[in-house]
Structure 1
Amino acid sequence: MVLKADDKKNNNNRPKPSRQADHPQSAPGTSPFAEKPGLDVRLAAAKILAAVVDKRTPLDGMLDAGHGNPAYKVLSDADRALTRAILNATLRHMPRIEAAIASLLDTPLPAGARALQHVLLIGAAQILYLDIPAHAAVDLAVEQANRDPRNRRFAKLVNAILRRLERERDVILEQSSKISPVPDWYRKRLDKAYGTEDAFKIAEAQLTPAPIDLTVKADREVWAERLKAKILPTGSLRLAAFDGKIPSLDGFDEGAWWVQDAAAAIPAQLFGDIAGKRIADLCAAPGGKTAQLAAMGAKVVAIEQSANRTVRLRENLARLDLDVEILETDLFDYRPEELLDGVLLDAPCSSTGTTRRHPDVLWTKGISDIEKLAGLQARMLRHAVTLVKPGGLIVFSNCSLDPLEGEELVARLVAEDPSVERVAIPPADWPGLEQAINAAGEFRTTPAMLPPGGGYAGGMDGFFACVLRRR
């Protein structure tokens, strides 16, 4: 494993990387690198990255302040924020970073050198995609390599690769922009479902972090003015750039609104006028869609299986001062005394439509997960049909971009179950989102929809939603 020739010529002029032996002996249980500012952040980032890509561990759990990764929990708030930024940049751009590193090597890294790969990925992400001084990123990556006995012999290589990335950053970024920023398995799924051109736009869109969208209980125009927000075609309010804490915003304490992506605000609205009607939300937590249904005047039953999520659901609805019946139970065990007017099933899915805020999804999920989840969704949907009276509506939705969890699943149900018919959504009812309604009359949003403008970010989550009627 060697660098390509043009880098070897300059390698002799670089300072020699530090070695563990150069550091004084430390007391047992302490690190000789602890005095190096920023090193703990990079060590935590590399450990967490390894858990995501090698063990398919979801990122959110590891970044939980109370129960997350130990290396993350001991960091200060500022260092936690930096760790999250490094991880998000690495996961969003990983195929491009890997290609950039590979382009500088005559031979690939050893197959078993995963720890070395993580150090390089973390360092390269800082140099290529974050506003972090390159010398700090290089120096700390070399320290990481020296700290790990598996990587110590590669410390000079780490130094050389990252310094080369720094020098040739603009050229490398231009070259890598032609590479899809998503893993191969997912790129192939997107190509098949949306065509190569639209698939690339969707993949590019996930590189931009999601803006903050709000759903208001009432007085949309008033709150748009008070919050200096843009009203979207979904009726959501989109905030301009905001880096503070959500509870500090005007209207939070009085329960005037809740955070909900624009696409997630669509399914509840597909029922139309539901004032006074009995509607069940079968997968209710954290409660955004439940709150919409209640604010629209429905008599809502919220079903949630998880005890922890039920606590969060109750807290959210209490802040919003909305009256909802909450049942902590498995939806398959739920049987209302009277058949309902409607059911909302926002089913658990692969979440591939939410990668703007959850970039780890593409590295912790695969096609086998999609197939398994699609099977669960089909069972849930068939059960949901049995809960509504003849003429009642079932709105089915999820935040997956894969047709296996959306269009194909619904087409199979309608073909096999004569008691169910699809109700087409009229594009004219959704000005500004007409292109999001497919030929069958179903909603299919992608992160590439809703262009930016006027100082507001574009995009929305990838969502599938459709309306079914029980005959």
Structure 2
Amino acid sequence: MARPQQVRGQVKGGPDPLGTPARRAALRLLDAVLRRGEALEAALPMATRALHGGPDRGLAHAIAAETLRRLPDLDALIDSATRQRLPDDAKARFALRIALVQALSLGTPPHAAIATVLPLVDGGPRKLVHGVFGTLIRGEAALPAVPTLPAAVAERWRAAWGEEMVEAAARAIAAPPPIDLSLRDPDWDPIDAPSLAPAHRRVPSGTDIAALPGYDEGAFWVQDLAASLPARLLGHGDGTALDLCAAPGGKTLQLAAAGWRVTAVDASESRAARLRDNRARMALPFDIAIADVLDWQPDAPAPAVLVDAPCSATGIFRRHPDVLHRAHPGVVADMAQVQARILSRAADWVAPGGTLVYATCSLEPAEGEDQLDRLLAARADFTLAPPVAGELPPGIPTTDRGWVRTLPGTLEEAGGCDGFFIARVRRASA
């Protein structure tokens, strides 16, 4: 009887090496993002359902996320070592991406990186995968310190913002960013961490948030500094505020902590569950309405309306690198149409003399500047109300036209912030 073929310590046809299930899950995650256009976080539960432990789920997520951060450079290495280019959706390419990102970026020993991905191509070109990986490792292949952005994304952002922004974006995606905390009480201070604004702390990436002092007591919540800016522009109040498209609820919590009587509206029951969890942990009062804002109607106009509209989310690419591979121009165009409809309805819900803050976590002008221009052209009763001194944290710029646009490179030396468009407008008094 012939002996089974050995492949780098694995018996072909024998049991998978330890750690292979996490790599299978990483493959499913990458397939969900790159082939089906799903969000990485949304795909995580299904892709990791066969894993038995949190560490394995975390490893699968880390492999997939790092692969997405480094995808153009990984593919360039693979293409440099193959005579004929592998199709983008070939399982061999996916397996090589997973093996290489482990060995070149995540610190996995090369023998373990390749042994745990070879079972992913059972019945396929195992020798090819093994040979390409070995060629690159023996040739001391390396990934650049500053990743390469997907070409289509770089071209689009270069046209909108210039080369300096594209270079800053490439630097920003090199590693997961720090974590920002918004404080319920600005004077509460048991966390020894930098503060870039009132009621703010910044802790390193990877911090165990639930282990920080004050978590169980609801002293803070996770919220990027840029995401905290829209609610800051509504300030303190004792009237009614509508927070539209509110989940997961950071801005709702800000408004409630600032004294507003908030109604948070969101169409997703599952996302609203996070609103309820946050409300319970923070012990902050606000109402929740599960409804599509394109169908919902408030009982009366409100003096403060915040619209954090659904968007392509390209501004959060540092934390969610999958958006760079999913948010193509068609997605941006579709979301812009939705935003225009939401903004048009929300404008009617602002009481005379009241304030509307419009925001998106997008780096696409079609989902920010263009929306504001359209609103102001259609509604003579609204005028732009630029931020005044002291309303924005140091280093957050106001544009010449009076709105806020954070880009890659904003606060870069302090750890950066997400990409946001934020504008405040006021309705004329009756």
TM normalised by structure 1 equals 0.84
Does the CA-based 8 Å contact 1:18-1:143 persist in structure 2? no
Counterpart position of 2:75: 98
Aligned partner of residue 7 in structure 2, secondary structure: coil
Please give the per-residue CA displacement for 1:112-160, whole angstroms capped at 9, x wherever unaligned. Answer: 7611111111111112211111121123333433x2x2x2xx3222222
Counterpart position of 2:418: 461
Cα 1:169–1:75 shift into 2, 3 Å: farther
Counterpart position of 2:372: 410
For the pair 1:85 / 2:66, whether they are aligned, the reply is no
Does the CA-based 8 Å contact 1:449-1:459 persist in structure 2? yes
In 1, the alpha carbon distance for the partners of 2:139 and 2:390 equals 50
Counterpart position of 2:85: 108
Task: Choose which of 33, 44, 66 in structure 2 pairs with 1:63.
Answer: 44
1:254 to partner: Cα distance: 1.2
1:59 to partner: Cα distance: 1.4
In 2, the alpha carbon distance for the partners of 1:261 and 1:411 equals 26
Task: Choose which of 16, 33, 36 in structure 1 pairs with 2:15.
Answer: 33
Counterpart position of 2:23: 42
Counterpart position of 2:160: 193
Percent identity for Structure 1 against Structure 2: 36
Counterpart position of 1:294: 256
Counterpart position of 1:27: none
Task: Choose which of 403, 424, 434 in structure 1 pairs with 2:386.
Answer: 424
1:119-130 map, 5 Å: 119-130=95-106
1:102 to partner: Cα distance: 1.1
Does the CA-based 8 Å contact 2:294-2:341 persist in structure 1? no
Counterpart position of 1:156: 127
Does the CA-based 8 Å contact 1:42-1:122 persist in structure 2? yes
1:71-470 map, 5 Å: 71-109=48-86, 111=87, 114-145=90-121, 147=122, 149=123, 151=124, 154-169=125-140, 172-174=142-144, 177=146, 181-220=148-187, 222-223=188-189, 226-233=190-197, 235-244=199-208, 246-274=209-237, 276-426=238-388, 429-430=391-392, 432-434=394-396, 436-452=397-413, 458-470=415-427
1:75 to partner: Cα distance: 3.6
Please give the per-residue CA displacement for 1:136-187, whole angstroms capped at 9, x wherever unaligned. Answer: 1123333433x2x2x2xx32222222123323446x434x85xx63222211
Aligned partner of residue 394 in structure 2, secondary structure: coil
In 2, the alpha carbon distance for the partners of 1:164 and 1:120 equals 12
In 2, the alpha carbon distance for the partners of 1:72 and 1:447 equals 35
1:234 to partner: Cα distance: 6.2
Cα 1:339–1:429 shift into 2, 3 Å: closer
Counterpart position of 1:28: none
In 2, the alpha carbon distance for the partners of 1:350 and 1:431 equals 25
What is the letter of the counterpart of residue 268 of structure 2?
S
Aligned partner of residue 384 in structure 1, secondary structure: helix
What is the letter of the counterpart of residue 78 of structure 1?
P
Does the CA-based 8 Å contact 2:196-2:393 persist in structure 1? no
What is the letter of the counterpart of residue 38 of structure 2?
T
Counterpart position of 1:7: none
Cα 1:255–1:122 shift into 2, 3 Å: same
Greater C-alpha Rg: 1
Aligned partner of residue 63 in structure 1, secondary structure: helix
Cα 1:442–1:22 shift into 2, 3 Å: same
Cα 1:195–1:422 shift into 2, 3 Å: same
What is the letter of the counterpart of residue 405 of structure 2?
R
Please give the per-residue CA displacement for 1:357-405, whole angstroms capped at 9, x wherever unaligned. Answer: 2111122221111111011111111111100122211000011111110
Does the CA-based 8 Å contact 1:229-1:237 persist in structure 2? yes
> Higher helix proportion, which one?
1
- Structure 1 portions without partners, runs of 5+: 1-15, 25-31
TM normalised by structure 2 equals 0.92
Aligned partner of residue 261 in structure 1, secondary structure: coil
Does the CA-based 8 Å contact 1:352-1:401 persist in structure 2? yes
Aligned partner of residue 294 in structure 2, secondary structure: helix
Please give the per-residue CA displacement for 1:231-280, whole angstroms capped at 9, x wherever unaligned. Answer: 01364211135443x22221111111111111111100101332x12111
Please give the per-residue CA displacement for 1:409-436, whole angstroms capped at 9, x wherever unaligned. Answer: 11122123212211122466435224x3
**Superposed CA RMSD:** 2.4
Does the CA-based 8 Å contact 2:165-2:407 persist in structure 1? no
Aligned partner of residue 336 in structure 1, secondary structure: coil
